[in-house]
Amino acid sequence: MTIIAVDGPAASGKGTIARALARHYGLPCLDTGLLYRAVGLSVLKAGGDPDQEADALAACDFEDGLLNDPALRSEAVGSLASRVSVHPSVRQALVQRQRDFATRPGGAILDGRDIGTVIAPDADAKIFVTASVHVRAQRRYADALEHGGHPDMDSLIADIQARDTRDMSRDHAPLRMADGADLLDTSDLAIDAAIQRAIALVDAQLEGHRKV
C-alpha cells in the first residue's frame, strides 16, 4: 500500500500534480478540498452561518452527489470552505472519510492542506506544492477568463491572501509543510515540468523508504 500526500495553498497546482501522480502510479486520488467546499456550500444552501460551528457541523452530513456539483469550484465557495474548515468538529467529522480513502488496499493519493500532517502523517511520500501569490492569482485569472468570467486581479490576490492567512493561522490542522515533505515551488515551472519534478521527488522518497 502506497500513500502519497500532496499539500499546499490555494491554486498552487497541487490538484493538477496529484491527478498526474495518480495516473503515473495507477492510484486513486481524492481532492479533500472538495469535502470542505461541500460543507461550505451546504451551509449556504441551508441559510446557516459558516462562522458558527453548529451550523457548519450540521452541514457535514451532505449528500455524496453534491461532490459533483460544478458550483463547488467557484472562488466564493472556496472562501466558504476556508471559513468552515477552522471549526475543529467539522475537521473531525471529515477525518475518517479521508483516512478510509488513504488506507485503501492498493494505496492512494490525497491532496489538501493537512494530509501529510494529520490525515496520513506516515505517508510513503509527501510533497508540499507552492507558488507565489501573484502566480497563483494569474492562474485563477486565466481559469476565470476561460470559463467566461470577468476576473479582477486585485480581488483575486486579496482572496488568495485572505485564504492563506486563515488556512495557515487556524488553531486546528493549520496549513504547514509536513515533517519529511519535499518542497515543490511551481512559480517558474510549466505544468509538465512541475509534474516531472513531482514524480522525481516521489520516486526518490519511495526509494528511500524501501531502503529503510
Ligand X SMILES: Nc1ncnc2c1ncn2[C@@H]1O[C@H](COP(=O)(O)OP(=O)(O)OP(=O)(O)O)[C@@H](O)[C@H]1O
Ligand Y SMILES: Nc1ccn([C@@H]2O[C@H](COP(=O)(O)O)[C@@H](O)[C@H]2O)c(=O)n1
40-53 burial code (b ≥16 CB/10 A, e <16): bbbbbeeebebeee
Residues 46-75 that bind ligand Y (CB under 6 A): none
Task: State the DSSP H helix or E strand holding residue 41, giving kind and residue range, or none if neither.
Answer: helix 33-45
Which residue's CB is nearer to ligand Y, number 116 or number 211?
Answer: 116
User: Interface residues for ligand Y in 135-194 (CB under 6 A)?
Assistant: 163, 167
User: Which helix (DSSP H) or strand (DSSP E) does residue 196 occupy?
Assistant: helix 191-211
User: Residue 114 Cβ, how far from ligand Y at the closest point, in Å?
Assistant: 5
Q: Which cell numbers hold the place of 192?
A: 509538465
Distance of CA 92 to the CA centre of its chain: 16
Q: Name 127's bridge partners.
A: 6, 182
Quote the least distance from Cβ 118 to ligand X, whole Å. 17
Binding flag, residue 85, ligand Y (CB under 6 A): yes
- The answer to whether residue 116 forms part of the interface with ligand X (CB under 6 A) is no
Min dist. Cβ of residue 60 to ligand Y (A): 13
Interface residue with ligand Y, options 36, 62, 101, 128 (CB under 6 A): 36
**Binder among 32, 42, 130, 186 for ligand Y (CB under 6 A):** 32
For residue 210, the minimal CB distance to ligand X (Å) is 29
- Give, as ranges, the residues between 143 and 202 that touch ligand X (CB under 6 A): 143, 186, 189-191, 194
Taking the complex as a whole, the smallest distance from the CB of residue 190 to ligand X amounts, in Å, to 5
Q: What are the C-alpha distances in Å from 64 to residues 57, 61, 159?
A: 16, 9, 27
Please say whether the dihedral angle defined by the alpha carbons of residues 128, 129, 134 and 137, taken in this order, is positive or negative: negative
- Asked whether the beta carbons of 205 and 124 are under 8 A apart, the reply is yes
Question: Measured between alpha carbons, how far is 149 from 146 in angstroms, rounded to an integer?
Answer: 7
Residues within the interface to ligand Y (CB under 6 A)? 10, 32-33, 36-37, 78, 81-82, 85, 112-114, 163, 167
Residues within the interface to ligand X (CB under 6 A)? 8, 10-16, 33, 139, 143, 186, 189-191, 194
